[in-house]
Structures are given as C-alpha cells and as structure tokens.
Chains A and B, each alone.
Chain A
Amino acid sequence: MIQPVLKIENLSKSFGATPVVRDVSFDVNPSEVIVIIGSSGTGKSTLLQCLNLLHKPTSGRIFLEDLEITAPGMNEDTVRRQMGMVFQEFNLFNHLTVLGNVTIGMTRVLGMPAKDAEKKAMKELDRVGMADHRLKYPAQLSGGQKQRVGIARALGMNPKVMLFDEPTSALDPELTGEVLTVMQKLASEGMTMIIVSHEMGFARDAADRVIFMENGRIEEQGPPDVIFSHPASERTRKFLSIITTGKAEQPASHMEQDTP
C-alpha cells in the first residue's frame, strides 16, 4: 500500500460561529495532482490554508506522511517549510531580487550556505524559465513572471507537496498560459500538487483527481473525465454548466418577475 503524502481526516474550520470548511476528508497520494473546484466562498482557499496551518483547523486531523501536524505542540514553522505555497496575489518579497526571493527561505529557514542556496535557486528559476530575470525586482516583472518566481520560491524549499491558491486568478488570460505550462511541467515531473483553480481546461488536462466543493463540503470527487463528463451530483453538473457556458442553465424565475 502506498503511504499518502497528506491525509486529511474530518477537517473543519469555523471563523467565529461561521463554519467555512465542514468535515472534509481525503488522502493525497505521492505525485498526485488534485484540483479543487467550486464556486467562490465555498471554503476552497480556507481548506488549502488549513493544510499548511496558515489557518488553524477548528477540528479534525491532518497527517503529513507519518506526522500528525495538527497534534498539539506541533511546530508549525517546521511543518510549513515542507509544503510549498503559491498565492493568488504572488506575495513576492518586494525588497528582494528574483534570486533573493528564492534564496531567502533556503538561507534563513533551512540554514543553507549562500553559495549553495544560489546554485539551487538558479536551478529552480531555470525550471520556471525565469533564470534570465534573476537580478530584477518584483515590481519590474509581469504578473505571470511574478507567479513563476513564486513557484520557484516554493520549490526551493524542496517541498513534499505544493499548494496552489488560485495561482492564475489575478492574471490576464494571456499570462495565465505561461503559469499553467510551468504547473503542467511540475505535474509531469511527479510533484505532488493540490490546486485551487477556476481553470477547468487545466483541471481536465493535468489533474489526476478533481474535487468539487460546495458549501464547505466535498460534494463530489473523481477523475476529471468522470467529473466533467458524467458528474453524479446535480450541483456539480449545474456548476460546470455555468462555468463552461458562462451562464446559468435556466434564468432564475424571480429575475424575470423583477423586469416589468
């Protein structure tokens, strides 16, 4: 039996009295690419940020390989350095060059010597096609380039799993492609990835499994061709039809009443 990289058991997260993630359980196997889809506000990003403890889960357990990272007294910093996180808003360190952005985690968190860190950073930047821009500052880059550096920064830490929080949502459609290409490449190289995304085309091509979330719960999950072609749940089918056609199947009736 393969040991899952991540094992999520009955995870819930509430903000105050508002439940955002409800009783979510799933396993992530090595080299698996999971794309989480669903409407806005259904707790996808919150779920992702619970996985590396940027949000503290209200209840439930998460295992990173053998280690229960939700155990009391767990050092969250040592947990996070084993998981790469890529943000919607890039969040590159503005005062550092591209190279500095990738090396700072290695030198300041992993304690690598500067020389080795630089070498490794150049390897990762090369992987995302940003090696030529190493001396530029984030403000001098396009959105797509920033996000590729964001990916290299996370890769530099040798993560066991990469978490992507809507990595292309802040990008122009024409810049989305270059980021998705890099992600596809990582997937084909065997990186374990969990991606919250609205890119259905990418989900169809790159995902091993698609999870559809609704109202903080996993409504349905399965291989992309099953989810996209023969969804079992009515909600999934509705969501996908809105996403792919750009409009709801039937116009809501109260809307018609509003028009005189």
Chain B
Amino acid sequence: MDSGDTTRTSGSDGLNTLDVIRIRRDFPILGTMCRGKSLVYLDNAATTQKPRQVVDAITRFYYSQNANVRRSVHYLGEQATEAHENARETLRRFLGAPRACEIIFTRGATEGINLVAQTFGRQRIDPGDEVIVSEMEHHSNLVPWQRLCKEREATLHVLPLTDNGALELDALAGLLNERTRLLAVTHVSNVLGTVNPVARIVEIAHDAGVPVLVDGAQSAPHFPVDVEALGCDFFVCSGHKMFGPTGIGVLYGREALLDAMPPHESGGEMVLTVTLEGATYDALPHKFEAGTPNIAGALGLAAAVKYLETVGMDRIARYERELLASAVSALRNMAGVTVFGAADERAGSVSFAVEGVHAHDVAQVLDGEGIAVRGGDQCAQPLMRRLGVSAMARASFAFYNTSEEVYSLERGIRKVREVFG
C-alpha cells in the first residue's frame, strides 16, 4: 500500500477486529447511509467496493502520467508505458504466472473467456469435437461455449452437480475422450460459493490431453491463486470483483498456447508491420491487446492487487472462511430459511431462500434495512433449474465485512418473515 494511512497487519492468523476497522477506513463507500440505515454491503460477488488506494492510482495516472502506451517516446509516454507494464508484472506475481507475457489485459472475465473461445476455440475445434463445461457455470462461461459449439458443429457436454452442490467429479472421466478439445470450469461458484477442486480436475483433464480454462472471477478476490500450482492452461478474472475498477480484467494463458492462437481483435498496438496487403502481428502479450488499452484500469487493478497483497491473501482467506461459515450456520439455523449447497469448501457467497417469499422481495425488504444482497437468477439459470428454483437471494462477503453485518443480515431476514408472515 502506498498511501499514508496504511493497514499494517502481522502474524499468520486471520484478520482481527482492529484490522478490519482499519481496512474499512480505506473504503469510504462503506460509511454510506442508505435510507437512514448504515450500509451493509453483501453484494460483493456482483462487484466489490474500491479502496482509496485504487482510486488514488487512477487519479494519479490521469493527473500526472497520462499518455498512450508503446507509441510515444516523450516523457509521459515512457511513464505510462512503464506503469502499464509494471501493472502487468504485479498481476503476474499475484496469479503466480511464470511470465508477464502470459498476462493479457481484457475488459473482464467475460471478455477473457470469449477471447479464448473465438481464437483457441475457432482454431482448434472442428465438427464432431467436444467441449466440457459444468452445470454450475455463470452464463459467461457457458454461452460463449454454446455459441462456439453451434458454429463449429461441436458438442457441449455438461459435468453434473451432486445434490450437495459440488461437481460430480466421478463423472468427468466418462466425459473426456479423444474428441474433447477443452474443459471450461469455474473455480468458485458465484451462486453456491462451492470451491471446486480445480487442481484435481486439471490433472484428470490433462491425463486425457485436454486443456482447461478456469473462471477465476469468484476465486481471485477470496484466496491465494497460483495458476502454476493449479496447472490450468487459461485463467480469467475481473478487476471489479477484486476491488479494482470496472472495465479491466486479466486472461492468463500458457505462453505456448497463446503463441499458437490467432489474434482476437486487430488494429493498432497489436501489429509489427502493416502494408496495404497485410500485416504481421506483435509478440505476446500485445498480440491480444489491439487498440489503446484501459491503462488507468490496469493501474487501478494493480493497486487493488497490491492492497490485497499488503493485507495478505492468506489472512483474507482465513478471515473470510470464518465469516462465511458463521453466516451459513446462522442462516441454516433460521426457521423458514433454506441454504443452497452444502459443499465442503466454500468461498464468498451463500445463497438462500425464505419460505414463501420471492428472492426479489427478500432483497427489497433487506434493502429497506440498508442491507445490499442480490436477488434473482444470479446469471446462472441452468443451475437455478437444477436446484428447482427460478431465483434465490445471495449474500456475498469480502474481507471488509464484519460479524456484526452477519447479525444485521439475520435481523433483516427476520424482518422479511414478519412482513410476509
């Protein structure tokens, strides 16, 4: 962290109350009063709030560093280019990628997945080939593969869920065969909070010679991610879900795979030589970053990642695990409340239903108490169908949430029951 009011943390335990009080000071929005009530922000899986350090980094860029990158030889051009490449290096370190050229800046996880589908997918998937996704995917890791398979006349297979809301890992081997070209799976369910055993999944897929794309939108904000340890071939995440700005995200891909893939968009920035007849493309990572990139976004994301590193991802993970476990157990113990999913390992989110009350009404009554949760299909309609509902309410946590806020949620749900009693 690089501003005056830094959060010093020590030890290997989770965060303590004092740490969290200090952390909350870095997030001015958490002091918002909503309709006369203190904000209780539990919609972090939709988007997270931003610390001052992120906003400061963006402001600093526009006030003192703004120039286009990799074009202009002047002072500011040099400053901006260096800052942008430093941001890439920060993300490489955060995700444990071996090389900075394997870090592609995108608009977010959705663009990262679409990029892989439109380049790797179109190049490698022929009629009769197969792609595997899971039944718990967010629409963003499902619809691009549906479109691709339709276009390429390939088949999309679905790895099913257990009744606990975990992946049916035993079914995976049966889905893999010599026509399988890719397995795309989420690291953490945005609905159930289930943490999938991605390293094991990768192992099984690789044994069958199948590369794996991991949707890390809901994992990178909550616990340490090491793409090398996971062994995955692609990993995507979204800046705005990890305390950075909107409109920026990262695609990690193995260098050999990225090198062999055709460019996604074309134009300036991604070319070496251009004639009226054709062009040759720049090396990684620039081949995939056509046009002027979201420089301020990349710097903001790097500031967010540095903030997380300063607090410590291990400590964040330990603190959040306890907080989420207390929320899950509190909800489970409430009369008329059903918690979805019972996977052994969870992160970030818990989805629930209040008996006889539509999720949208639950969210609306909670809003009246200053509590922000999501109510709806959570962008995972096939999962809703699997669970036999059309919508559910979701409380999703970040390391700035407190156990008092879990109590507030409990009180809010009691209020829901009163209103619709």
Q: Do A and B share a complex? A: no
